[in-house]
Structure 1
Amino acid sequence: MFTKILIANRGEIACRVIKTARLLGVKTVAVYSDADRDALHVAMADEAVHIGAPAPRDSYLRGNKVIEAAVKTGAQAIHPGYGFLSENAEFCKLCADNNIVFIGPPIEAIEAMGSKSAAKTIMENAQVPLVPGYHGDDQNPEILRKTSDDMGYPVLLKAAAGGGGKGMRQVWSADEFDEALAAAKRESMNAFGDDKMLVEKYLTQPRHVELQVFCDSHGNAVYLFERDCSVQRRHQKVIEEAPAPGMTDELRANMGEAAVRAAQAINYQGAGTVEFLLDVDGSFYFMEMNTRLQVEHPVTEKITGQDLVEWQLRVAAGEKLPLQQNELRINGHSFEARIYAEDPANDFLPVTGTLNYLQPPMESEHVRVDTGVLQGDEVSVFYDPMIAKLIVWDEYRDRALNRLTTALAEYRISGMTTNTEFLYNLASCKPFRDADLDTGFIEKHHDAIFHTSNSDSDQYLPLAALYLVLKQDQQAQYQAHGSNDRYSPWSRPNAWRLNETHSHSLEIDLNGQSHSVTVEEHKGSRYKIRCGDHCVLASGELNGDELYADIDGFRQRITASEHDGQYTLFSAEQALHFSLVQPDLGDADGSDNAGGMTAPMNGTIVTLLTEVGTEVEADAPLLVMEAMKMEHTIRAPAAGKVTEFYYQPGDLVDGGSELVAFEVLG
């Protein structure tokens, strides 16, 4: 076993590797950029080396700087994590040239799977089932278009060198093909330095099921069962689970054996993941092989009881696999939910900010949190906006799912918008509980997840009103303690009026619709809450962020979170999102502050798609910007023309900055 390793990564995966290394008595070296000087992985490691500026191309992607750090500190091996240099064959060669062990597969395996088109040829020869499509070397756009036309739409364009949903576009009709191809090639070139594309028939109701494989240098190979990763947005996974629901022993064995054949076809060593599309008829097709540890590996660890990072270190050190196939067993069920700084209501756009308040659920044998951030840390524009991975386990799927929703309700973050409410609603909805899964799950069940209906306002408005009144009371009592006359009626929050009923009038926005609610003090510390024609008696206690509510005799405990005037109450059924509508006093100068064509986030201008003065139709693409590993296209709001671009390709822009001067015609 090694005595010291370097982790060529950041965030939660760097922290994850450090934890296992520490258990094995292996010293660790972290690398960090200017932005990560005070990061958690730096603090956890035994040593740390600065390698450059915040942008990945100036730090974490500089293989030579990483090698220098390893040589300087005497690290015998480098763990690449995932992303960055983890599937970079040139970096693997650098390690070999400097007598440093790369904790991953051989160079040849990375090269073989580095091109999706070449990988499909190898898999075809290994008798691994393939999705119909084109993966040839001739990249003439007319050939790609003809292949798509002949197969019939929809088709999927994929970057041959890609992964993580980058350089990937669904094309639903021939009219969309040219724009989608240009966008996919551009994104692929920016992400991977290669714009070669392949075309696949797009299956409309597939599941995304992947097999965890492991091989050593002694000819041993196993699969550690499967993970279902069907629930995705922008081709990136949201919630993963293991084992896959509805999987038969026969299908599991067939997919597992195909995955092992795929690994053996390239003389694989270490941890790898073979990804398949599983169709409704039980047929499955090879998608790609990721020659690294996957983000979602913890669910496999939970159901097998194995530490996959330990397996990686042992195999890289030349040891045999700890277990053979007949010794591996599935125990229970596990889910992983990815906690992101993003706005699900705004097409999942990533957001930046400071984690002003961060309280994850308590960890136990049933709940695990993998993270690389602490309260007070910044989520910056330079890196992926994932805050943490929430992993749960129990004996059966329904029990594990209950663990997941409970833990999500207890995960409280303020300082920025996150996807925790979205994840809670997704995990709570009936189709997910029924395991009615496919890769279009979020789009198909949008209303069930986002709760756009207001039919339950009579049930939830009293809860919101009770919370707001108790919160106001709590704040007023705090302020009164600092007052010279804490017993003054002006220090009381009970809407006191001389010879009048103590009454609060609230305007509450619930699911985008405004509701007038009246709250009157009733005898015995109770409140009469009236929402239109509906009236209830309520009482409650607010203890920190725990609301104990009694609505007409129905009692429940609810957790609450607040961010920037937006409130969320996590009940047993769902996350209730609301805000208190403030009076509209208008602008003092009477000016019109209607927004224009602005940057949705901090980022970089990638390309301009039209010229100044050229007339365009409504919704025509005008420019593309990139931030936090995601492209965003700015489109024309109406028929018109650009009169000026305020930024050029390569320029950095702040979120909210005006990007385009646009003249509407007609």
Structure 2
Amino acid sequence: MSTSSPMRTVLVANRGEIAVRIIRSCRELGLRTVAVYSDADAGAPHVRMADEAVRIGPAPARSSYLDVDALLGAAKASGADTVHPGYGLLSEDAGFAEAVGAAGLTFVGPSPEVIARMGDKVAARAVADGCGVPLPPGTGTLTAGQAAEAAAGIGFPLVVKASFGGGGRGMRVVGSPAELDEAMAAAGREAGAAFGRSEVHLERYLQRPRHVEVQVLGDGHGTVVHLGDRDCSVQRRHQKLIEEAPAPGLTPELRSALSEAAVTLARTVGYVGAGTVEFLVLPGTSEFFFLEMNTRLQVEHGVTELVTGLDLVALQLRIAAGEPLPFTQDEVRISGHAIQARIAAEDPWADFRPAPGTVSTLELPLGPGIRNDFGLAAGGAVAPEYDSMFGKVLAHGADRDSARRRLVAALGELRVEGVPTTAPYLRTVLSSASFTEARHDTGSLERDWTPDPADRPGAPSGTAETVETPTVSSGTIRRVRIATDRGPVEVAVLGRAPRSGASASPSRRPGRESAAPGASGPGGAGAPPIAPMDATVVAVRVEPGQEIAAGEVVAVLEAMKMEMEIRSEVAGRVAEVLAVPGGPIAAGSPLISLT
């Protein structure tokens, strides 16, 4: 970056792997960096890498990374002149962008007005409609009382969607009118927790689409270009797990139509910075529909960097400094193919249950065409206050199959101990026939790719109902199964009979990947349901004296940005409700007691 640029010091208003990624590009541009951190991240790599680091609060995101005053205070104290929001957190918060500008700082991203317009999914639909971009039938933001009539007009199945935010949070698929009220409430709760805005709207649910997005860049001089497309169809609960560029299986005509629609949309709103326009594509046809626009860098930006040879973070910074794009659309070249796997502390064999904990060992794959973007090192912790993703492994090859095979090999070499991860499961997905032949869609993971118990790392050979492992001073660790709305999950419970307030460690060290068929709780058959992990109690669905049936929902918990309905595996009468709505609950703690 030119030394005459007014940009000198960049405060990175984020954490984890994206903070590390931004700091690296700043270094190459000769820019000084300031990291911010919560108490949970005091020893994180991004804190060590930056030229300066400022503590902004305790672990909960609302008291640290979402605290605008704390972030602006850190910028002032460190002498930063620029703020890069990364993705997630406050990256699509128009109020934050406005506050940054009001403080005399440069915000790396589009204007607050564009963020507000495109961050409002209903307003974004109106922009797309005005540009002639196809839309699925849908509504504006509405209340629960308006939903039934609107849903009847759209037809089922439909999807309840958060009107603000992104990343798949605040979405519920509804198959019938009977499911609508609860889906509205659940989507609103999740959206409120993730984005601070609980408004929702309805859209027609498209059957078996592909999720294809186009990367766009706009500078402050009127130029808007695209950097090709990506496919993000490997998803669970609307959360992406594998992304690739370019999107496979598109005809040249369809690829051109998608890119043209994305550039037209960005140009219409005066977009400046890096952004992504997302579409749903119906396989085997030329039909596509506008989904949303993300006014920020995407988690999957790395695959576009690998096939274009461009540094998107550096381009963001140059655009924010007022520089024009250094190339034209005709000069953009796509070379080869790239695929990315998100590495999250989740257990695919327990319905992707989040599993925060300390990563005792982390060995990353190396080799030609391999890239690793990670936000922690060995000895670091995946904190329960944040998203479960802590890294990404990417592979680039001359064509799709060579990139795929390279990524399969890399995931086989990745070694993570201390927490379960998505890596071994994603390795099997990448090797499946439907992925290899690009026949998959956004529902394939939940419909066709059920994790095979035989593929689970450390899968037990015995059939004991519980596994007990001696500890130095704390009794035993018992693995039990708990019924939730997403199927049974396993949890490690410390001690033989934990009471309310007791904690449990979700340890996944080698040799402890043990199932517990038939166990319903720490006390064996007939035990009441317990919290599978440290969580917040969103709602309690039962009351003292109530008769409940086996499989009935007793509470809704939220942890690591996910809601879980906890069910009782046994029938009985509720003697006491131990979970307090709105309060925290520790792993292994009973939610209710039964008589």
Q: TM-score, normalised by structure 1?
A: 0.78
In the alignment, structure 1 residue 393 sits paired with structure 2 residue 379: no
Where does residue 643 of structure 1 map in the other structure? Answer: 575
Where does residue 374 of structure 1 map in the other structure? Answer: 377
Alpha-carbon deviation of 1:276?
Answer: 0.4
Where does residue 67 of structure 1 map in the other structure? Answer: 72
Indicate if the aligned counterparts of 1:278 and 1:285 stay in contact, CA closer than 8 A. yes
Higher relative contact order (CA 8 A, sep 6+): 2
Where does residue 556 of structure 2 map in the other structure? Answer: 624
Which structure would you say has the larger Rg?
Answer: 1
CA spacing shift, 1:356–1:595, aligned 2, 3 Å: farther
- Matched residue type, 1:565: G
1-structure distance, mates of 2:158, 2:551: 23
- Matched residue type, 1:563: R
Q: Within 5 Å, give how 1:591-606 maps onto structure 2.
A: 592=524, 595-606=527-538
Q: Within 5 Å, give how 1:158-169 maps onto structure 2.
A: 158-169=161-172
- Matched residue type, 1:608: V
Where does residue 511 of structure 2 map in the other structure? Answer: 565
Alpha-carbon deviation of 1:611?
Answer: 3.2
Q: Within 5 Å, give how 1:396-475 maps onto structure 2.
A: 396-447=399-450, 450-451=451-452
Where does residue 342 of structure 2 map in the other structure? Answer: 338
Q: Which residue of the other structure, out of 281, 287, 296, is the alignment partner of 1:283?
A: 287
2-structure distance, mates of 1:414, 1:593: 31
Deviations 1:391-436 (A, max 9, x none): 1000010100110100000001111211111111111111111111
Identity of aligned residues (%): 46
2-structure distance, mates of 1:117, 1:593: 49
Indicate if the aligned counterparts of 2:190 and 2:561 stay in contact, CA closer than 8 A. no
Alpha-carbon deviation of 1:185?
Answer: 1.6
CA spacing shift, 1:594–1:141, aligned 2, 3 Å: closer
Q: Within 5 Å, give how 1:513-528 maps onto structure 2.
A: none
Q: Which residue of the other structure, out of 377, 382, 386, is the alignment partner of 1:383?
A: 386
SS of 1:334 mapped into structure 2: strand
In the alignment, structure 1 residue 654 sits paired with structure 2 residue 586: yes
Q: Within 5 Å, give how 1:75-90 maps onto structure 2.
A: 75-90=80-95
Alpha-carbon deviation of 1:451?
Answer: 2.9
In the alignment, structure 1 residue 184 sits paired with structure 2 residue 184: no
Where does residue 310 of structure 1 map in the other structure? Answer: 314
Q: Within 5 Å, give how 1:475-554 maps onto structure 2.
A: 509=460
In the alignment, structure 1 residue 10 sits paired with structure 2 residue 15: yes
1-structure distance, mates of 2:349, 2:528: 20
Alpha-carbon deviation of 1:59?
Answer: 0.4
CA spacing shift, 1:92–1:509, aligned 2, 3 Å: closer
CA spacing shift, 1:257–1:580, aligned 2, 3 Å: closer
SS of 1:563 mapped into structure 2: coil
In the alignment, structure 1 residue 611 sits paired with structure 2 residue 543: yes
Q: Which residue of the other structure, out of 193, 210, 214, is the alignment partner of 2:213?
A: 210
Deviations 1:233-252 (A, max 9, x none): 11000000000011222211
Indicate if the aligned counterparts of 2:346 and 2:354 stay in contact, CA closer than 8 A. yes
Alpha-carbon deviation of 1:292?
Answer: 0.3
Where does residue 354 of structure 2 map in the other structure? Answer: 350
CA spacing shift, 1:17–1:150, aligned 2, 3 Å: same
1-structure distance, mates of 2:101, 2:124: 24
Indicate if the aligned counterparts of 2:349 and 2:453 stay in contact, CA closer than 8 A. no
Q: Which residue of the other structure, out of 20, 45, 49, is the alignment partner of 2:54?
A: 49
2-structure distance, mates of 1:187, 1:451: 30
In the alignment, structure 1 residue 320 sits paired with structure 2 residue 324: yes
Alpha-carbon deviation of 1:649?
Answer: 2.1
Where does residue 546 of structure 1 map in the other structure? Answer: none
Indicate if the aligned counterparts of 2:59 and 2:385 stay in contact, CA closer than 8 A. yes
- Matched residue type, 1:314: R
Q: TM-score, normalised by structure 2?
A: 0.87
| RMSD over aligned Cα atoms | 2.4
2-structure distance, mates of 1:92, 1:648: 36
Q: Which moved more, 1:330-339 or 1:278-287?
A: 278-287
Deviations 1:176-221 (A, max 9, x none): 1222111112222222232221111111110000110110110000
- Matched residue type, 1:627: A
Alpha-carbon deviation of 1:594?
Answer: 6.5
2-structure distance, mates of 1:591, 1:263: 58
- Matched residue type, 1:54: A
SS of 1:133 mapped into structure 2: coil
Deviations 1:288-309 (A, max 9, x none): 1010000000000001110000
Matched residues, number: 542
- Matched residue type, 2:511: G
In the alignment, structure 2 segments of 5+ residues that lack a partner are: 465-507
Q: Which moved more, 1:143-152 or 1:382-391?
A: 143-152
Indicate if the aligned counterparts of 1:302 and 1:393 stay in contact, CA closer than 8 A. yes
In the alignment, structure 1 segments of 5+ residues that lack a partner are: 455-459, 469-507, 515-561, 568-578
Alpha-carbon deviation of 1:650?
Answer: 2.7
1-structure distance, mates of 2:68, 2:55: 13
1-structure distance, mates of 2:149, 2:88: 33
Indicate if the aligned counterparts of 1:565 and 1:580 stay in contact, CA closer than 8 A. no
Alpha-carbon deviation of 1:114?
Answer: 1.9
Deviations 1:477-524 (A, max 9, x none): xxxxxxxxxxxxxxxxxxxxxxxxxxxxxxx945x879xxxxxxxxxx
Q: Which residue of the other structure, out of 229, 233, 236, is the alignment partner of 1:230?
A: 233
Indicate if the aligned counterparts of 1:275 and 1:288 stay in contact, CA closer than 8 A. yes
